[in-house]
């Protein structure tokens, strides 16, 4: 039984509500607020103490299944009536259908009369997917595949296009980072995206294990003893800089940029020379040495000046070389203070890269003091926005000084 749920929204025109409020003399701004409230509701879901969403308010159809006999249908209808009274959701009989398979004509007529719904024809579409008692063919699933591809294209243009994927099936240009690296766990230097090919292989293996679970085969017991998806992933060492990419204080774009720096995948001058795109790889910021990841962020005179200014601001000397190793060695610092320092360093690298690009495009160089002033403002706003607090009095005083 496929039930279309009818609500007041089906029978009341919002234009009528607006005209009525206008006739009663309500202000135009108030009417606009009311119409916005009733026409564009959105919700979020609280799960395990965290809030997820938002999604627009809609009413989904209801599909119920039972045996093709009068008694089962009576119980199902009774359960729906209880649900309807509790939720005030009423069936729209004009849009609801009941479907049969393997039921005699006489029983179908009795059930149709009992339910008050008209008989539908199998197969039928629900949310663009064909519902049928028979096995679906490849052609039947094409509409679902097309819908998924359409959603992925939109996702690619909004979320994954940052140097990783263009949201298209055809390759127009190589991505900066290989997909197998992106799918590695974060502790192993990846972004933690699931490798769907391995996931599918593990799912098939689990299905085979379920089919053969009654058989006393040694390989079945072995597959059951290990987690399929993790077992298929290559064993890789944990990278030392992994904690930097997972700091919650850091802006998402700064996290992603830091990850690209650790992968050495930014299009710096030395890489462009290797790709035979340019012939001159002189640093845009200092004009003294060849530009590379190491030089740009830790050896350039401009970057050194910025790092010195930031060190004075945070009250901690940040070395120009081996920053990650130095940060990991700060065992006497509180975890929060270490996270703030890492956030400052990663944000500085992002601002240096922005300054380098501005110099390359506009041929204008931002002074280190101006750049650091912007960075301080951004970090201060970030600390206030997320309301960073500490139980340690010394750390609290230090944070107040930064804000």
Query: Helix H segments across 317-364?
Result: 323-328, 335-362
**Residue 223: inside a domain, yes or no?**
no
Burial of 30 by CB count in 10 Å (0-12 exposed, 13-18 middle, 19+ buried)? exposed
**Residue 232: inside a domain, yes or no?**
no
Pick left, alpha or beta for residue 374 (phi over 0 → left; psi -120 to 50 → alpha; otherwise beta): alpha
Cα 162 from Cα 145, distance rounded (Å): 25
Please say which residue of 135, 162, 185 terminates a domain: 135
Flag the least confident range among 73-77, 92-96, 230-234, 385-389. 230-234
Question: Using an 8 Å Cβ cutoff, are 325 and 387 in contact?
Answer: no
* Averaged pLDDT, 215-228: 57
- The answer on 257 and 393 residing in a single domain is yes
Cα 238 from Cα 188, distance rounded (Å): 5
- The answer on 117 and 162 residing in a single domain is no
Q: Given a cut of 70, is residue 47 above it in pLDDT? A: no
Query: Helix H segments across 234-300?
Result: 242-245, 252-263, 269-274, 293-294
Band (248; pLDDT cuts 50, 70, 90): confident
pTM: predicted TM-score of the whole model, two decimal places: 0.60
> Which residue shows structure tokens 């650091």?
372
**Residue 209: inside a domain, yes or no?**
no
**Residue 215: inside a domain, yes or no?**
no
- The answer on 27 and 129 residing in a single domain is yes
- The answer on 145 and 82 residing in a single domain is no
pLDDT digits (tens, 9 = 90+) for 307-366: 999 999 999 888 878 888 888 787 667 888 888 999 999 999 999 999 999 999 998 899
Q: In whole numbers, what is the pLDDT of the chain averaged over residues?
A: 81
Cα 351 from Cα 175, distance rounded (Å): 23
- The answer on 162 and 129 residing in a single domain is no
Band (75; pLDDT cuts 50, 70, 90): very high
pLDDT value at residue 121 = 85
Give SS3 for 282: strand
* Averaged pLDDT, 182-191: 86
Phi/psi of residue 323, nearest 5 degrees: -65, -40
* Averaged pLDDT, 246-263: 89
List 90's β-bridge partners, or say none: 6
pLDDT value at residue 165 = 60
Handedness of CA 12, 13, 16, 21 (dihedral sign): positive
- The answer on 377 and 313 residing in a single domain is yes
**Residue 72: inside a domain, yes or no?**
yes
Q: Given a cut of 90, is residue 91 above it in pLDDT? A: no
**Residue 55: inside a domain, yes or no?**
yes
- The answer on 263 and 168 residing in a single domain is no
Structure tokens given for 381: 């706003």
Highest-pLDDT range among 28-42, 110-124, 147-161: 110-124
pLDDT digits (tens, 9 = 90+) for 123-174: 887 766 778 877 878 877 787 788 777 776 665 555 556 666 655 555 556 7
**Residue 225: inside a domain, yes or no?**
no
Measured at the alpha carbon of residue 34, what is the angle toward residues 33 and 36, in degrees to the nearest 5? 65
- The answer on 278 and 156 residing in a single domain is no
- The answer on 266 and 396 residing in a single domain is yes
- The answer on 147 and 48 residing in a single domain is no
Comparing 27 with 52, the larger pLDDT belongs to 27
Question: Using an 8 Å Cβ cutoff, are 345 and 323 in contact?
Answer: yes
pLDDT value at residue 182 = 86
- The answer on 374 and 271 residing in a single domain is yes
Q: How many domains does the chain have?
A: 3
**Residue 272: inside a domain, yes or no?**
yes
Domain holding 162, by residue range, is 137-175
- The answer on 128 and 144 residing in a single domain is no
pLDDT value at residue 87 = 67
Q: Given a cut of 90, is residue 397 above it in pLDDT? A: no
Band (305; pLDDT cuts 50, 70, 90): very high
Cα 139 from Cα 123, distance rounded (Å): 13
């Amino acid at each position: 039984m496929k039930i279309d749920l009818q609500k007041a929204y089906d029978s009341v025109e919002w234009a009528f509500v607006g005209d009525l409020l206008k006739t009663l003399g309500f202000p135009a701004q108030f009417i606009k607020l009311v119409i916005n409230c009733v026409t564009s509701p959105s919700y979020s879901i609280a799960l395990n103490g965290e809030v997820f969403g938002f999604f627009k308010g809609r009413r989904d159809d209801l599909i119920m299944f039972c045996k093709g006999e009068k008694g089962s249908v009576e119980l199902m209808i009774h359960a729906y009536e209880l649900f309807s009274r509790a939720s005030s959701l009423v069936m729209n009989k004009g849009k609801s259908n009941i479907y049969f398979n393997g039921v005699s004509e006489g029983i179908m007529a009795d059930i149709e009369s009992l339910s008050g719904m008209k008989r539908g024809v199998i197969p039928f579409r629900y949310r663009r997917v064909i519902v049928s008692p028979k096995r679906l063919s490849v052609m039947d699933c094409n509409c679902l595949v097309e819908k998924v591809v359409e959603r992925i294209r939109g996702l690619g243009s909004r979320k994954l296009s940052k140097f990783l994927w263009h949201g298209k099936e055809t390759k127009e240009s190589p991505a900066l980072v290989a997909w197998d690296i992106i799918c590695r766990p974060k502790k192993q230097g990846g972004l933690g995206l699931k490798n769907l090919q391995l996931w599918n292989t593990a799912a098939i293996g689990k299905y085979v294990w379920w089919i053969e679970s009654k058989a006393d085969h040694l390989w079945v017991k072995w597959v059951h003893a290990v987690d399929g998806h993790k077992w298929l992933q290559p064993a890789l060492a944990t990278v030392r800089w992994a904690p930097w990419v997972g700091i919650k204080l850091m802006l998402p774009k700064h996290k992603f940029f830091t990850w690209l720096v650790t992968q050495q995948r930014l299009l710096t001058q030395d890489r462009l020379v290797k790709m035979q795109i340019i012939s001159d790889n002189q640093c845009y910021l200092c004009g003294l040495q060849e530009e590379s990841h190491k030089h740009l962020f830790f050896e350039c005179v401009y970057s050194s000046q910025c790092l010195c200014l930031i060190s004075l601001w945070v009250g901690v000397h940040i070395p120009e070389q081996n920053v990650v190793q130095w940060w990991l060695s700060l065992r006497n610092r509180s975890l929060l203070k270490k996270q703030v320092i890492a956030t400052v360093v990663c944000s500085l690298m992002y601002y240096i890269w922005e300054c380098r690009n501005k110099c390359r495009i506009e041929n204008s160089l931002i002074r280190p003091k101006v750049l650091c002033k912007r960075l301080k403002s951004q970090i201060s706003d970030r600390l206030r926005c997320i309301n960073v607090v500490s139980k340690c009095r010394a750390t609290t005083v230090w944070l107040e000084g930064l804000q």
